[in-house]
Structure 1
Amino acid sequence: MDRLWAPWRLEYLVQEKPAGCIFCGAGNERERLIFKTTPHTLIMLNRYPYVNGHLMVAPRRHTADLASLSQEEVLELWSAVALCQQALIQSAGPDGFNIGINLGKAAGAGVEEHLHIHVVPRWSGDNNFMSVVADLRVIPEALEACYDRLLPFFQAAPQVS
């Protein structure tokens, strides 16, 4: 039997989970993997991605209720999603995208209390045997390297409106 070792995962598995919301927290934008904030949204790299470049767009206002968003918030949220798609097309050339929202634990929301949209670039063949036989994803690029590669696209982007 072959074995795949990932000892760095143990730290995540045993650590006490931080209190508070990942989208509402304070701190250094690079450490939090935030690319861009606007009056109503923030764009960040997913710390536990399905594939490289897995982004999340969230309203700045803490809410889990999609219907509670104002028209301005909805417009800015979806404009930010479009910006993410363009940044990923320019930086990584994916073959397609999964873009979606998981509302509630039963729907797979990892952060139930703050709605967010996943923007997941996809490449033909990015699901390989590791997902099937080992329930494992292979992410070939370090988060910091992915952040550094994508950041210039968000810095050069016009203001989301």
Structure 2
Amino acid sequence: MTDLPGDTPYELEGVEEQDGVGTPDPFLRLWTPHRMAYIAGENKPTTGEAGQGCPFCRIPTLADVDGLIVRRSAAAYAVLNLYPYNPGHLMVVPYRHVADYTELTPDEVSDVATLTQQAMQAVRIVSAAHGFNIGMNQGEIAGAGIAAHLHQHVVPRWGGDANFMPVIAQTKVLPQLLSETRALLAKSWPSI
């Protein structure tokens, strides 16, 4: 790399300047086009109704591999998040289309809790997570992307995982395809 005084173009061995990206600067671009689907609202329901228009109602009708489901129980299922905050980010979702935690039956509460515990154990086996953020955003005002169908996030965390990428570049680096993560977690899922 050459010195970078002012707007002097930079050179990296094997990296060619790309036409149309603006004035060259010292920054390389990490493109994350898959995030545009989330930003544009792809797969987000247009109504709060249950049925095929709700991704959390539709996902359990798919094969586990196609729906990224890691585990099913009688009243809920664990699925990888299509737009993860960190590698291994799961959601635990009741099959029944309800919006509020207080609407869950005792069996649904039990299955959501058990699947959450199992998710933590499986992620620790697969990737040695140091900790977890676990929670539900109840209602759009609280940040729920799909407020009409309750879901609990299980987000693995590691020391130093909040590096400069999300802070400076508003980008997460995910080192593994979701299908590979799903296969590892499904294989390592404990029986409780």
Tell me the TM-score range normalised by the shorter chain.
0.7 to 0.9
Question: Which aligned pairs between 1:69-108 and structure 2 lie closer than 5 A?
Answer: 69-108=104-143
Match of 1:136 among 157, 171, 191: 171
Identity %: 37
- Which one of 24, 34, 46 corresponds to residue 57 of structure 2? 24
User: Quick one: structure 1 residues 135 and 21, their matched pair in 2 at CA, closer, same or farther if it must change by over 3 Å?
Assistant: same
Q: Distance in 2 between matches of 1:149 and 1:17?
A: 25
Does structure 1 residue 60 correspond to structure 2 residue 99? no
Deviations, residues 40-86 of structure 1 (Å, cap 9, x unaligned) = 00110111101100010011111011111111111111011111111
Q: CA RMSD in A?
A: 2.0
Instruction: Give the superposition deviation at 1:9.
Output: 2.8
For this pair of structures, how many residues does the alignment match? 157
Structure 1 residue runs of 4 or more that deviate by more than 4 Å after TM superposition: 13-16
113 and 18 in structure 1: CA distance in 2 versus 1, 3 angstrom threshold:
closer
Normalised to the residue count of structure 1, the TM-score between the two structures is 0.88
Give a deviation string over 1:111-154, Cα, whole Å, max 9, x none.
11111111111000011111111111111111111112111123
- For the residue of structure 2 that corresponds to 1:23, the secondary structure is helix
Q: Aligned partners of 1:130, 1:99: CA distance in 2, in Å?
A: 22
- CA displacement 1:16-48 (0-9 Å, x = unmatched): 546512211022221110011111001101111
2:183 to 128, 145, 148: 148
| Largest Rg, 1 or 2 | 2
Structure (1/2) with the larger helix percentage: 1
| Structure of higher RCO (CA pairs closer than 8 Å, 6+ residues apart) | 1
Structure 1 residues 86, 29: CA separation in 2 closer, same or farther (over 3 Å shift)? same
